[in-house]
């Protein structure tokens, strides 16, 4: 390697190591001002906020650099305003759509592969690829099973919510 290549490599590595460290050093005022941005909060999102000593759950009404306003939820009729500086932990309600999709794709593909391979009426003794070939039928079954399983997994994942921690995070 040449000297220029070595210098470029060392410079790149230095930016990769020093860049993230420098980006994490924020002043408290900057951290408070960007809580809404860091947590990617939007009106209507269901949040769980822990501020010493309370835990508050409700939909976001407004998020400003000074305060987070959370609306009524589950028996609480009033909206609450929480100062940003008192927020220790913040969670946002998420779902499992992606996880459900990938699990459904995998399970559906395996099920379709074996389901179509077992059906003897689709197979013949020919070795040419095509409708009479068991291997080709299995691959078609895997593709159909993956599509059906992916859709079912996505729907199930959308129906199973969980909390995603955003602050600190």
Beta carbons of 90 and 83 less than 8 angstroms apart: no
Angle, to 10 degrees, between the axis of helix 134-158 and the axis of helix 97-118? 150
What is residue 85's three-state secondary structure? helix
Q: What's the confidence (pLDDT) of residue 113?
A: 87
Beta carbons of 90 and 45 less than 8 angstroms apart: no
Q: What's the confidence (pLDDT) of residue 4?
A: 45
Report domain 34-94's class. mainly beta
Q: What is the pLDDT of residues 96-112, one digit of tens each?
A: 999 999 999 999 999 99
Beta carbons of 32 and 85 less than 8 angstroms apart: yes
Task: For the chain, give every domain's residue range.
Answer: 1-25, 34-94, 97-160
> Which residues of the chain fall below pLDDT 50?
3-29, 31-33
């Amino acid at each position: 390697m040449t000297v220029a290549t070595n210098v470029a490599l060392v410079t790149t590595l230095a930016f990769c190591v020093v860049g993230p460290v420098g980006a994490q050093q924020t002043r408290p005022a900057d951290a408070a001002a960007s809580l809404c941005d860091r947590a990617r909060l939007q009106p209507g999102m269901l949040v769980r906020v822990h501020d010493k000593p309370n835990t508050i759950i409700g939909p976001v009404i407004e998020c400003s650099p000074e305060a987070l306003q959370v609306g009524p939820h589950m028996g609480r009729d009033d909206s609450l305003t929480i100062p940003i500086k008192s927020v220790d932990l913040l969670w946002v309600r998420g779902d499992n759509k992606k996880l459900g999709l990938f699990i459904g794709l995998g399970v559906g593909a395996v099920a379709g592969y074996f389901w179509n391979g077992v059906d003897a009426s689709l197979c013949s003794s020919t070795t040419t690829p095509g409708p009479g070939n068991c291997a080709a039928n299995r691959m078609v079954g895997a593709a159909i099973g993956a599509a059906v399983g992916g859709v079912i997994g996505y729907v199930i994942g959308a129906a199973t919510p969980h909390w995603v921690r955003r602050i600190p995070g």
